[in-house]
Amino acid sequence: MSEQAASAACGLPPHHTVRSFDLDPLGALEEGHRRHGPVFRMAVDGQETVLVGTWAGLVELFAGERGCLEVLNTRLVHDLFGRALFNLTGEGHADARRRLRPALSGRALPGYLPALLEVTDPVAARWAQHGVGDLYTEVRALTGSLSARVLLGIAPETADAAVFAAVFEPFVAGSGAPPGRDRFMTGRYWAGRAARRRLHALFTRRAAAAVAEPGTDSALAGLVAAFADASQAVGPLPDHLLALLIAARETTASLITWCLVELAANQEHAVLAQTEAHVAVVTPEVLARRDAVPVLRAVLAEAQRLHSPNLLSLREAVCPVDLGGYRIPAGTRVAYSTSAGHFDPEVFPQPHTFRPLRFLDGEARGARLWAFGGGAHACLGRPLAELMALTVMASVLHQGVPRLPGGAPSRIRYRPAKAPLTAVPLVLDRQEIAS
């Protein structure tokens, strides 16, 4: 009896042995799926884990996760983020999602465009004039300003902008402390806890100001109203803001970085998208319309497919669940990889090639991508993150066509978010705008 047949008989997926996961994690996952199909077992971070990938595997997982798979976070994440959305379960999780969703999608998005452009246009103009020494570092600073502006109403170059930037950085650093008991022995953990308290105080003050003078260019007033009568099970708004802010900065920074890298490496697509960018800076409302700026949206979709920010998302089976023909017992550590799913050649021909036109000619649909997860725990911030990315691309392309003087990044890290390991300089080659 083969290993796979024996594993199926006892209800466990086949085990995939790999020595190079840390060196080439995505390659290890792809090899595992080629050998074993949508579901297999592998050691991840020293713990036996059931890996789910390929398009069919992700569809099955997201369809069956409600009530069976819960987000698996460490004690460190619970310490720093408290009762944020991704730490909640059951009805508290569902209620929190209902309260958060209206401010992060739909009708609210067009109102944020002036605030987004208030941040992106000066930055893009500076990049055009002086160039960028390290693209990822610059984009992280930009998405930090964008998230503070939209989620907290903090305008650039104000006193609160300086406070937020100074306090948020040690909070993010604290999230990288050891996840177990060793966290108590590290200074960055305690600095992160102190930053959490200072951020809560800032959020409370900003919330009071938003209620006193509500506006449509920030999500904060709507979020305060949505959580005014929330039960304790839903979690306090400041905890949810911490989760939204770190996702809006870190995940979106990864996505925008790779959008710009691919536009620089494939300038024919940058030139096509530039016409839409010139229109968007004059009539920005087109960026919030699903039927507008098709080339920019195709570039964004292909960047999501090729460069999913998160390599793995962890779950725990809280009841037996069927995945890929195997019965996964309760208590099992489960992980899924959207990156591996997006490289399924049966769904995306030439999966390792940047081909945004696949989303224009009907070969693929951007709405079916999993970069922001799916199912009961799909990221609520996807519409806002995509709007931020479109706004940055429009502002940048309006200034010029991106170019990488040193070439595309050759060394990449995949965790916690996909990013270049070394500095990537970028310049914008100005072009005359047709009148």
Q: Once rounded to an integer, what is the mean pLDDT over residues 68-72?
A: 94
- Strand 69-71 and strand 47-52: pairing? unpaired
Question: Which of 253-267, 338-352, 391-405 has the lowest average pLDDT?
Answer: 338-352
Task: Give residue 6's pLDDT band: very low, low, confident or very high (50, 70, 90).
Answer: very low
pLDDT tens column, 332-348: 999 999 988 899 888 89
Task: Give residue 112's pLDDT band: very low, low, confident or very high (50, 70, 90).
Answer: very high
Query: Burial level of 130, CB count in 10 A (0-12/13-18/19+)?
Result: exposed
Assess contact for 52 and 39: CB atoms under 8 A: yes
Whole-number pLDDT of residue 5: 47
pLDDT at 97 over 70: yes
Cis amide bond preceding 416, omega within 30: yes
pLDDT at 407 over 60: yes
Task: Give residue 269's pLDDT band: very low, low, confident or very high (50, 70, 90).
Answer: very high
Q: What is the mean pLDDT of the chain?
A: 93
Distance CA 25, CA 49 (A): 14
Whole-number pLDDT of residue 362: 80
Q: Once rounded to an integer, what is the mean pLDDT over residues 67-83?
A: 95
Q: Once rounded to an integer, what is the mean pLDDT over residues 80-92?
A: 96
Distance CA 143, CA 137 (A): 10
Distance CA 26, CA 34 (A): 12
CA dist list (Å): 21 to 32, 90, 311, 340, 417: 11, 33, 12, 14, 16
> Which residues are CB-contacts of 149 (< 8 A; sequence separation ≥ 6)?
115, 116, 118, 119, 155, 156, 218
Q: Once rounded to an integer, what is the mean pLDDT over residues 245-250?
A: 94
315: helix, strand or coil:
strand
Whole-number pLDDT of residue 428: 98
Task: Give residue 204's pLDDT band: very low, low, confident or very high (50, 70, 90).
Answer: very high
Distance CA 267, CA 162 (A): 36
Whole-number pLDDT of residue 432: 58
Whole-number pLDDT of residue 321: 93
Whole-number pLDDT of residue 22: 81
Q: Label residues 50-86 b or e (16+ Cβ within 10 Å = b).
A: bbbbbbbbbbbbbeebeebbbbeeeebbebbbbbbbb
Predicted TM-score (pTM) of the model is: 0.94
pLDDT at 4 over 90: no
Whole-number pLDDT of residue 368: 79
